[in-house]
Amino acid sequence: MEQGIITDRTTLLIFCCCLATGKYTRNEEFNLYSSCDNASTVLFVYLDFKKEGTFMDLKAYFENTKGLGILSTADSDGKVDAAVYARPHFMEDGTLAFIMRDRLTHHNLQSNPHAAYLFKEEAPGYKGLRLFMTKVREEQDAKLLESLRRRQYINEKDEAKFVVFFKINKKLPLIGSGGK
């Protein structure tokens, strides 16, 4: 089995084994293309990060769009919380990060790693996105936290702060199912 190759054009090529027949398929959400040969040996997967709706497009969207963000979490018993959060930070490893204090949202993520981020654009109508995510890790690195901060507060309390990282599982428009 060959190993994956990452080119300088941020195109990811992955080769792996499969047990399927040979047809190209496309995953609309992440522009994932795959094919299998009829000998049931090689699966070719092609993920182009430059295509619309991908990680790089999301990063540009959030850098250039103002609006209101709501991060929703639930505890292990299913009790839901929703809190206003700033736009996410997009990390080089393909994760999203939020800075959070040790409050209910952070507490919920300790027992249930799933979260949803709803973003409504600052514009007439109902434009925006919903991101369904899973927590992958968190850090209390003060240098990282300071490098990510977009604002400084004058009378900020000295509370524990965390940088919490998520992978995106699903992206949908603010209204509707995203079907075409």
The pLDDT value given to residue 156: 59
Question: Is the model's pLDDT at 60 over the cut of 80?
Answer: yes
171 neighbors 130 (Cβ within 8 angstroms): yes
The pLDDT value given to residue 157: 66
Q: Domain check: are 27 and 98 in the same one?
A: no
Q: Is 153 a domain residue?
A: yes
Q: Domain check: are 82 and 101 in the same one?
A: yes
**Mean pLDDT calculated for residue range 46-52:** 39
The pLDDT value given to residue 152: 61
The pLDDT value given to residue 177: 86
The pLDDT value given to residue 38: 41
**Mean pLDDT calculated for residue range 109-132:** 96
The pLDDT value given to residue 131: 96
Question: Is the model's pLDDT at 134 over the cut of 80?
Answer: yes
The 10 Å Cβ neighbour count of residue 156 is 9
Confidence of residue 34 (pLDDT cuts 50, 70, 90): very low
Question: Is the model's pLDDT at 81 over the cut of 50?
Answer: yes
Q: Domain check: are 81 and 18 in the same one?
A: no
Domain residues for the domain of 104 are 55-173
The 10 Å Cβ neighbour count of residue 89 is 19
Q: How many CA atoms lie within 13 A of 74 on its CB side?
A: 9
153: tokens are 């507060």
Q: What pTM does this model have?
A: 0.66
As a whole number of angstroms, the distance between CA 75 and CA 77 comes to 5
As a whole number of angstroms, the distance between CA 147 and CA 165 comes to 15
Q: Is 178 a domain residue?
A: no
Q: Domain check: are 28 and 91 in the same one?
A: no
